[in-house]
Chain A
Amino acid sequence: MDKDTLKKEIRDFIVDTFLFGEGADSFTDSDSFMQNGIVDSTGILEVTGFIEEKFDFSIENEEMTPINLDSVNNLVAFISKKVNA
């Protein structure tokens, strides 16, 4: 999957799951989900569940960090790294 498609997949998931399908333009790809009140710590579990199922890999405990999971760009980089590992 190329990065633009991956980005769209993630954006669609975030907007559908946490924003009731509205306000796709209310956050940028580099905005923190947590700091912008889009996703809370329970929501992060929803994000990790989606990623593990969709991309068929396990996220290790030490990978449960904002730098991997807390923005569209961070997720794209993390998933790309995991899928290509």
Chain B
Amino acid sequence: MEFHKDILKIDAEKVCDNICKQIRSQLKNDMHKPGAVVGISGGIASSVVAALCVKALGANRVFGLMLPEKDSADESKSLAEVLADHFGFDTELESIYKGCEGLGVYAKRDEAIKQVFPDYKPSWKSKIITPTNLLEKETFNFFTVVVETDSGEIREKRLPLKPYLQIVAATNYKQRLRMTTLYYHAEKRNWAVIGTGNKDEHMQGFFVKYGDGGTDLKPIAHLYKIQVFQLAEYLGVPKEIINRIPTTDTYSSEVTQEEFFYGLDFYRMDMLWHAMENNVPKEKAAEVLDLTVEQVERAFYNIQRKITATEYLRMEPLEIKG
């Protein structure tokens, strides 16, 4: 099996043409929806998807929606505006903050954090992270809550089950509110909602079921994250978006996708995953990536465990067989 440092390099023009052809065909023939609504966050994935939709359908058939809430970075909005200006599609900003507030998203999350830090105050910043040493040690993907007090003191503690589940459940409201808002704007135009998840997010379960996973079409779900970067370059996505470090943009403290979920930089994770999927010998993968065989084994185990553990997220509702 061939495996080298550039194995995930794509012919961006060819990949782009194929995706655009299928976007046009699926919207026209399968869904009968003459346009695309995309949630734009100023991140690389949503920017690439919006750019692909513009290329496939024309800017007049693409609508970008910015959906910030209290914990969104200001940069998300400004970068989304840069993107829309660059590709010439219409946008609207619809804050989901009041919706989140009304549903008690922040109060429910804060209540859960208080179970871990009883003196926690809503004015403190917070985030949850996973271990980022997965190559060094075989470890479970537990979550740690990190808070920053008003005086700037950083404290962290591993999350027990109940507060962990409550924080995740409360936070997932945000993505689900975004989904319902996207569908409002899509339905009033009779257009489709386009998903922005890549292969890493889709297969390892870094999405919210019926939240950002609730879409009509997933045009980049087959591409590794590092291939999404290659498409971004080809499509001419503005540099400030390409150079932005991918974050969750969901917690009040900034948290990168690497520390929140993946535990590994995108290049090595994607290369290791490709090696695993294609039965590349561990020794070969280790040699190309300058790792030990044990590190490769740990990465394979971690990636496989995430894929298996998140199968539920990708499942359609099950029916009783009569």
Contact = CB atoms under 8 A, between A and B. Distances in A.
Contacts of B15: none
B161 A64 contact: no
B28 interface: no
Given A41-B141, A44-B142, A49 B305 contact: no
A26 interface: no
Interface residues of B, number: 19
Contacts of B138: 65-67
A69 B161 contact: no
Contacts of A42: 161, 164-165, 309
Contact of B305 (A34, A48, A69): A34
A69 B142 CA distance: 13
A9 B8 CA distance: 49
Contacts, number: 47
A12 interface: no
Given A34-B305, A65-B137, A41 B161 contact: no
B161 A49 contact: yes
A66 B161 contact: no
> Looking at chain A, what size class is its interface with the partner chain?
10 to 19
A61 B305 contact: no
A46 interface: yes
Interface in A25-77: 34, 37, 40-42, 44-46, 48-49, 52, 61-62, 64-67, 69
Contact of A64 (B142, B162, B165): B142
A14 B95 CA distance: 44
Given A61-B142, A61-B144, A64-B142, A41 B309 contact: yes
List 7 tightest A-B contacts by C-beta distance, closest first.
A45-B161, A40-B309, A41-B141, A64-B140, A49-B161, A44-B140, A64-B142
7 contacts: A34-B305, A37-B308, A42-B161, A44-B142, A45-B142, A49-B162, A65-B139
Interface of A: 34, 37, 40-42, 44-46, 48-49, 52, 61-62, 64-67, 69
Interface of B: 131, 137-142, 144, 158-162, 164-165, 305-306, 308-309
